[in-house]
Structure 1
Amino acid sequence: MTTGSTGGAAERSAWLAERFEEQRPRLRAVAYRMLGSLSEAEDAVQETWLRAERADTDVVENLAGWLTTVAGRVCLNMLRSRASRREDPMDVRIPDPVVDPADGVDPEHEALLADSVGLALLVVLDSLAPAERLAFVLHDMFGVPFDEIAPLIDKTAAATRQLASRARRRVQGRSPVPDPDHTRQRAAVDAFFAAARGGDLEALVAVLDPNVVLRSDGGVLRARHTVVLQGARTVASQAVTFGSLSPYARPALINGTAGAVVVADDGRRISIMAFTVTDGAITAIDVVADPERLRELDLKPAGF
């Protein structure tokens, strides 16, 4: 290889690396919505880079769009592999939370959390079939045309449109939209913890939506699989048993909405609690309390 060609290859590699870094926040956002796992999202972005390095990107007219579809394909493969390994396909999985201080979202998390990607929404996305999730995420959240998504799942554009439409109906029917007012969110969460601390069942019921859903990955409930409870009185009765933990709940933003990190006096994290507040009432509570998962999550940037 001549010196000139070597220089040209180096320049091309440097150009591609620079363009890729510009797209990294978007690719992480795609992967997080597809996988619901922060570590797997990083793995997917890294695999996307490796594929970009090996590809002839000189002929790619829209590099940003091409990288998005490559990331989508990588995530699709990871989802299918995950589904084949899952012991209980009906088990609900609580996604990895993105934790920030109560006074604001870290700038690095802003792209990751655009469009109010709360844990409740990610739980619903996780219930979709891999192809449905890909069609919905890429089209509805990132504006990728159906004719570009279709080859990834070996479907026609029309069939891909139908997949996205079916996924959209499920998401809209099962994922409540959070109040945009953070003050209103925080008021409901504070009322929840005050009632739990005082063991006031009626006050808890009053702050909960009648159809509220509580999901916990075990942890303090000592369950092997995710526990799902529904209904204001059922959830309130369980919340009363958490009353002793209420004094240790520190306000935080969980996926951009009001929540809490429960931290013991010795600094040990007990749980991360994400709340979805709609029209002033709590419609969903998602709890990560598995000790191993809590140790793996890097909460130091958020101060926990």
Structure 2
Amino acid sequence: MTLLQALILAVVQGITEPFPVSSLGHAVLLPALLHWDLDEHAPTFLPFLTMLHVGTLVALAGVFWRDWMAILGGMFGRYGRYAQTEAIRIFGLLVIATIPAVLVGWLLEHRLRAVFGTPLAVAGFLILNGFLLMATEWLRRQKGHRDHKPIATLAPKDAVIIGIWQCLALLPGLSRSGATMNGGLLRGLDHETAARFSLLMAQPIVLAATVREAWQMRHMTISHDVMVQCVAGAVVAGLTALICSLLMLRFFRNHDGWALTPFGIYCVVAGLFAGSVILL
């Protein structure tokens, strides 16, 4: 992998991690469409992947640090009894929403990616991701959802349903953030709150993946060239994810009636284009 390829992958990771367009799907399709000879199972690729996760994790933590301070500080009673009750409830909802994907991923993740991880399959799932985003917007309009309820008002049942939606992201091409936003919207959240809950859910998962990858390479010797790619990738991915997260939250805040529709259209068009190129 060249430095230019590393930087391109970092930019794509930073854009697609917060946006509901499947970061994994783009990571599979982009090298295939550009005919890059990348071995994602090579030992030198794992450090790069880990540092991309570090960069995006730091970016998301930077965007949501006030949320985490409110949750963690509130749990220990820093802001009063009412805030403590609300913080404990939000933390519990995040835990509940994370459990389904952890269990299903532990059982099936490697099998699903082995079977459905081909570029053509990913293109198909990216198209499906787009239709799911647009279908969610349609269903929300049919139900007349214009709620602006906070995360703390979700019931444990709602968190379970959002967590089940997240399991769809085990299929490459289906977006984790998109799936959880779909679930949140259909449980009565507005776009910005659904995105906020989705990206709060993402951070423990990304942290766990980073720790696992770091443990896997604990005995690895990393060359200077690979280290340069890793550091550059982390910085670029982090800055891109930071900017895109802030832009997305603002966009969702200002366009609550149809905010997922442009992403849905993009996924359908991108999936059709990628599938056509692969077949030709």
- Give the structure-1-normalised TM-score: 0.26
Structure possessing the higher relative contact order (Cα contacts under 8 Å, 6 or more residues apart): 2
TM-score by length of 2: 0.28
From the CA coordinates, give the structure whose radius of gyration is larger.
1
Q: Higher helix fraction: Structure 1 or Structure 2? A: 2
